A = this chain, B = another copy of it.
Amino acid sequence: MQVYEAPIRDMRFVLEELHTDDGFGDLEGFEDFDEDMRSAILEEANKLCRDVLLPLNWPGDQQGCRIENGVVRTPDGFPEAYKAFCEAGWAGLVVDQKWGGQGAPHSLAKMVEEMSCSTNLSFGLYPGLTGGAMVALEAYGSNDLKNLYLPKMANGEWSGTMCLTESHCGTDLGMLRTKAVPQDDGSYLVTGNKIFISAGDHDLADNIVHLVLARLPDAPAGVKGISLFLVPKYLPKDDGTLGDRNGAGPTAIEHKMGLKASATCQMSFENSKGWLVGEPNRGLEAMFAMMNTERVAVGIQGLGVGEIAYQSAVYYAKDRLQGRSLSGVKNPSGPADPIIVHPDVRRMLMTMRAYNEGCRALSAWVSRALDAEHAAKEPEARARAKDFVALMTPVVKALFTDLGHESAHLAVQVYGGHGYIQESGVEQFARDARIAMIYEGTNGIQALDLVGRKLPDRMGRNLRSFFHPVSQFIEDNGADANIGKMVGALQQSFGALQLATGHIAQKGMKDPEEAAAAATDYLRLLGFVAMGYCFAKAAKVAHAKLAEGTGEADFYKAKLVTAQFFFDRLLPPATAQFMAIRSGKASMMDMPAEAF
């Protein structure tokens, strides 16, 4: 059973109650989005996701996409759902109002994204890719391109893609071969083959706007010779109506482990007409503007799947009767007790719950910073928000997707044998979630980005945007009667993180392989400390609300149990990864390649 109701109370908690002291202050430009409006948006998004997208999720997996005469067909119901999605304005939720978008803050939009990722990850990719393409286009496109394309993309009439990967190069884009030859009219003819292109072709939108990495004829070798081009499926006329088909289209659909309702295409460009986006040979810069937004979005995919996996497992654990509680019969009128009475089932449910609440709390903090980068009043707050986003982007991407995948597998385990059967719907979560650990840069690449770029950048300034509030919080609350013990545990893990940081800084300066050898363990340690900080803060808020007696005691009490579970069960093994980090690269690198 795929069961879902948006966790709106927890979303409101992390949006309204948890990060009130994050120091970014009031943000400008979001005056329309007051508390009532935010609640209304969350409620409406829940309805669409629960009632329209979720019913298509499992059938979409079973049916998959198909390619017929060079045209990709999405599963039954997808075109209608996409239409409903766009007509309600969701396609342009965070897009600037001048392009016809809603101009909503990221902190709100990420909650909506979480809902669509929960209820139909495959579906969510189509508008998600469009959103990423708009970011790159808005930042680097010419005014002509922006005026022609952005309004159509903001309302979902046209969709977008990112065309990076070729069969011989994914992570190492320096090897890419696709060519772009300049024409007299200022356009380019793009020729080459791409693979793994999400939403590369489909029947949802009228036109598809491909952002393609390619090389100019005189380009230098390697990553410094890559430019970005906009190549539409249909060439629009100046008035925005569609003209001729461009020579850009799918040659095959990839056969994937999951995410089967998302059309992942092999694409062929043959003298396809395109336009340069940004400066020649600086395509990676433009692509990375888009990639960073996408990486946070991919992290949210992990959280989204984790949430529906949790809810579906809870549903089953309350429904499935098997065995009796060790503390006495709980369901005397039935032949057995529901399996939620068993501690080991609780362990799985609480683990999923803690992952989801921890990730959601951290995601709210990061997306507040995404907004504050541009909308904070004080320049100092904008700069600090930017540092924090830079630091946390790889953490959100890698940590959330690792944990979402783990949660999906815990849900399968709660279902037991039934979870391995396709009709249960839960094994789909595990297959769908798996890709998020790989695309937009594998999680190993995220870890290298963290230790290789984000840590050393400007003498560790990014890191201070995180370390400072955490150490301040520990200092302020270590003696707190309610949360002092949690804060003590946080302090211990934070201490391990500080030592690990010092280890990487020292050893990595002399030998970059030492930093790389520590990267994945370090990212996880940092991520768990960040979640621990969020949980300790959440516990503080919960205690305060319970003391005030504001009502909703059940919500705050549950928050305290989940936080305690996190500190009891999840933080200690993550903290011990410091030992792995400290051991250095030797046993990882000593084996000669031929001995493998």
- Which B residues touch A435, using CB under 8 A? 420
Given contacts A171-B323, A568-B580, contact A421 B347 (CB under 8 A): no
- Residue A422 contacts which of B169, B255, B353, B583 (CB distance < 8 angstroms)? B255
> Contact: A322 with B169, CB < 8 Å?
yes
- Which B residues touch A416, using CB under 8 A? 170-171, 438, 442
Q: Does A587 count as interface, using CB distance less than 8 angstroms? A: yes
Q: Does A243 count as interface, using CB distance less than 8 angstroms? A: no
- Which B residues touch A255, using CB under 8 A? 421-423
Q: Does A577 count as interface, using CB distance less than 8 angstroms? A: yes
Q: Does A345 count as interface, using CB distance less than 8 angstroms? A: yes
Q: Does A344 count as interface, using CB distance less than 8 angstroms? A: yes
Q: How far is the CB of A218 from chain B (nearest CB, A)?
A: 20
Within 8 A of B (CB), among A396-429: 405, 409, 412-413, 416-417, 419-423, 427
Q: Which of A107-115, A284-292, A513-521 contacts B (4 or more CB under 8 A)?
A: A513-521
- Which B residues touch A544, using CB under 8 A? none
Q: How far is the CB of A325 from chain B (nearest CB, A)?
A: 8
Given contacts A419-B438, A565-B588, contact A516 B342 (CB under 8 A): yes
Within 8 A of B (CB), among A554-592: 554, 557-558, 561-562, 564-565, 568-570, 572-577, 579-580, 583-591
- Which B residues touch A447, using CB under 8 A? 344
Residues 518-554 of chain A: 1 if any B CB is under 8 Å from the residue's CB, otherwise 0? 0111000000000000000000000000000000001
- Residue A413 contacts which of B171, B342, B430, B437 (CB distance < 8 angstroms)? B437
For A350, the closest partner residue in chain B by CB is B588
Residues 151-166 of chain A: 1 if any B CB is under 8 Å from the residue's CB, otherwise 0? 0000000000000010
Q: How far is the CB of A317 from chain B (nearest CB, A)?
A: 8
- Residue A573 contacts which of B254, B257, B423, B576 (CB distance < 8 angstroms)? B576
> Contact: B343 with A589, CB < 8 Å?
yes
> Contact: B256 with A346, CB < 8 Å?
no
Whole-angstrom CA separation of A335 from B427 in the bound complex: 39
Within 8 A of B (CB), among A143-185: 165, 168-172, 174-175
Whole-angstrom CA separation of A344 from B398 in the bound complex: 14
- Which B residues touch A258, using CB under 8 A? 420
Interface size grouping (class) on chain A: 35 or more
Whole-angstrom CA separation of A200 from B216 in the bound complex: 61
Q: Does A495 count as interface, using CB distance less than 8 angstroms? A: no
Q: How far is the CB of A355 from chain B (nearest CB, A)?
A: 14
Q: Does A19 count as interface, using CB distance less than 8 angstroms? A: no
Whole-angstrom CA separation of A348 from B519 in the bound complex: 12
Q: How far is the CB of A69 from chain B (nearest CB, A)?
A: 23
- Which B residues touch A333, using CB under 8 A? none
- Which B residues touch A481, using CB under 8 A? none
Whole-angstrom CA separation of A147 from B338 in the bound complex: 44
Interface centre among A419, A561, A562, by most chain B C-beta atoms within 10 angstroms, is: A561
Q: How far is the CB of A489 from chain B (nearest CB, A)?
A: 10
- Residue A587 contacts which of B321, B569, B587 (CB distance < 8 angstroms)? B569
- Residue A326 contacts which of B516, B593, B596 (CB distance < 8 angstroms)? B516
Q: Does A314 count as interface, using CB distance less than 8 angstroms? A: yes
Q: How far is the CB of A89 from chain B (nearest CB, A)?
A: 33
- Which B residues touch A344, using CB under 8 A? 444, 447-448, 516-517, 519-520
Whole-angstrom CA separation of A421 from B265 in the bound complex: 12
Given contacts A413-B443, A417-B170, contact A326 B577 (CB under 8 A): no
Whole-angstrom CA separation of A574 from B171 in the bound complex: 32
Q: Does A23 count as interface, using CB distance less than 8 angstroms? A: no
Q: Does A439 count as interface, using CB distance less than 8 angstroms? A: yes
- Which B residues touch A573, using CB under 8 A? 573-574, 576-577, 579-580
- Which B residues touch A437, using CB under 8 A? 413
Q: Does A82 count as interface, using CB distance less than 8 angstroms? A: no
> Contact: A595 with B558, CB < 8 Å?
yes
For A441, the closest partner residue in chain B by CB is B416
- Which B residues touch A580, using CB under 8 A? 568-570, 572-573
Q: Does A512 count as interface, using CB distance less than 8 angstroms? A: yes
For A62, the closest partner residue in chain B by CB is B255
Q: Does A277 count as interface, using CB distance less than 8 angstroms? A: no
Whole-angstrom CA separation of A169 from B334 in the bound complex: 13
Q: Does A318 count as interface, using CB distance less than 8 angstroms? A: yes
- Which B residues touch A596, using CB under 8 A? 314, 317-318, 340, 349, 353
Given contacts A322-B170, A558-B595, A577-B573, contact A256 B513 (CB under 8 A): no
- Residue A417 contacts which of B427, B438, B557, B568 (CB distance < 8 angstroms)? B438
For A583, the closest partner residue in chain B by CB is B568
For A578, the closest partner residue in chain B by CB is B572
Q: How far is the CB of A145 from chain B (nearest CB, A)?
A: 29
Query: Besides A342-B444, A557-B595, A573-B574, 14 other CB < 8 A contacts?
Result: A169-B322, A172-B322, A175-B322, A256-B420, A257-B420, A257-B422, A257-B430, A326-B513, A344-B516, A347-B520, A409-B434, A413-B443, A419-B438, A570-B580
Q: List 16 A-B contacts (CB under 8 A).
A: A168-B321, A171-B322, A175-B322, A256-B421, A327-B512, A340-B593, A347-B520, A350-B591, A412-B434, A416-B438, A420-B438, A557-B595, A561-B587, A568-B583, A568-B584, A573-B579
Going nearest first, the 4 A-B pairs with the smallest beta carbon separation are A576-B576, A572-B579, A568-B583, A344-B444
